[in-house]
Amino acid sequence: MRNTSSYDRLTDRFSRIATIGECASMLGWDAAAMMPRGGGAARGDQLAVLAGLSHAQLTAAETGDELAAAEAEGTGGDPWRTANLSLMRQAYKRATALPADLVEAQARANSASEKVWREARKASDFAQVRPFLNEVLRLARQAADALAPALGLSPYDALMDGNQRGVRAADVASVFAAYETFLARALPEAEARQSRAPAPARPQGPFPTDAQEALCRRLSERLGLDFAHARLDRSAHPFSGGTPTDVRITTRYVEADFTQAVLAVVHETGHALYERGLPADYARQPVGEAAGMGVHESQSLIVEMQACRSDAFLSWLGPELLATFGGDPAPYQPDNLGRLWRRVERSFIRVDADEMTYPAHVILRFQLEQALISGDLAVADLPGAWNDGLHALLGIVPPDDASGCLQDIHWYDGAFGYFPCYTLGAMAAAQLMNAARRAVPDLDTALGQGDMTPLLGWLRANVHALGNRLGFNDLLRAATGKPLDPADFQAHLTERYLG
């Protein structure tokens, strides 16, 4: 007879909750990739209902009773069950701190704001979306204030913990402060070194969209993504979504330059490979999920930045690009691709930034969103604060809102406390790559043949298969022998840009 224990009944309940989340994920993918503009209002209602159903399942009195009973019964020392039960308790604690009407209101407000943001960004008109962001922020503050006492955290830390458990703003602030010091020295040095090298030659287009799309699919498959369980589509903002057995990645194509599409697909494939590698035995359980967004970013960036922008991989990729697009072979030489795709530049757009200046974009957002959540920064003052902050970090000022505070979807979709995960992930990726190279001596030889198998195998064993059993630093300690060490990232940048 099934479900004779409290723990088994809990796993059934959390499986239903996860399935509701999968439905919401698919509706979110559709909204970004397929849905007509007129479907926005109804989609907001649909997502709100699903959020309410999930919240009701999680906060039901039976859930609390079963948790208490399962904790009393114990897990027999099984580390997976122990971790799963602990994560269930944490999810219950977060959910019961939030009123159901607030959860549904956030889903509606986020959906409405995100739709208006798309139009506001096109028009570079922050005023158009400002009242919607005000509402999103008002509700996010309510949620943060409700979560904080329940979790014993500050309001902003409570939001961060929902994206990467165990990571606190104070920890991030010290890491980011050290990086600002490094950047102030390293960026001018990198720029000076770059100015002495030959300027990279850009491949000359046009590059037909259909040819780009076919190349992106082949490249994603070459990296290890099985399209029996995946799709590649188009969206305004590249992303990865779906479920571990049905991952959805998107990119955008520009006929004048294939770079954006190719590098976005490589990045999103890293996310997708992580989802595909999660432990199937714990599917739809908290312990079987990804170990947080910082870890997720480490998996996209170890594929994109550490592997696919390496000299070894570019020596394989160059001929593939030439065979696809033809023309002058010189721009496709590995050394030229390296100068082109590893060029340091003070730029306005985060998603297009090089890996040395990218953390500055994240630091800016980290500072601003803390001020927004605390109430120290009003939404109306965001454009000016953004421009001042970017000037302080990189010495440049965006020419308009589209290049400034409108460029990212995150805040307009209610995602506060997410941005630090990008740079934590970049630092973790460098640390993991160091460990992988020590463990797999022929890794770069394989990359030079376009073969990701050795790296993917190491990641499967040391990151993917662990699911959500370990927190950010414990996972890194298990895989590399130490918690997050930003020195590895700085050493990577020094070797690549200053060596």
What residues contact 77, with CB distance under 8 A and at least 6 apart? none
Give the strand pairing for 230-234 and 246-251: parallel
User: Is residue 355 among the annotated active site residues?
Assistant: no
pLDDT at 2 over 70: no
Specify burial of residue 1 (Cβ count, 10 A radius: 0-12, 13-18, 19+): exposed
Opening angle at CA 351, ends 350 and 357, nearest 5: 45
pLDDT at 289 over 60: yes
Q: Which amino acid is at 239?
A: F
Tally the residues of the chain.
Answer: 499
Span 291-311, average pLDDT? 97
Residue range 410-431, pLDDT digits in tens: 999 999 999 999 999 999 999 9
Could you tell me the residue ranges of all domains in the chain? 6-152, 164-499
Percent with pLDDT over 70 in the chain: 99
Span 106-122, average pLDDT? 94
Say what the pLDDT of residue 422 is. Answer: 97
- List beta partners, residue 180: none
Strands ordered across the beta sheet of 240-243:
230-234, 246-251, 240-243
What sign does the dihedral 259-263-264-269 (CA atoms) show? positive
Report yes or no: 402 and 124 within 8 Å, Cβ to Cβ: yes
Residue range 329-368, pLDDT digits in tens: 999 999 999 999 999 999 999 988 999 999 999 999 999 9
pTM of this structure: 0.94
Span 229-255, average pLDDT? 94
The tokens describing 264, both together, are 């976005």
Say what the pLDDT of residue 32 is. Answer: 87
What fold, for 164-499?
Neurolysin; domain 3 (1.10.1370)
d(C-alpha 457, C-alpha 252), whole Å: 29
Q: Which of 268, 289, 297, 355 is catalytic?
A: 268
Say what the pLDDT of residue 3 is. Answer: 52
pLDDT at 236 over 90: no
Span 298-308, average pLDDT? 98
Nearest to 255 by CA among 213, 227, 293, 221: 213
The tokens describing 408, both together, are 């990212």
Say what the pLDDT of residue 237 is. Answer: 80
Residue range 63-113, pLDDT digits in tens: 999 999 999 999 999 999 999 999 999 999 999 999 999 999 999 999 999
Nearest to 317 by CA among 344, 300, 335, 301: 335
Say what the pLDDT of residue 1 is. Answer: 41
Span 375-398, average pLDDT? 98
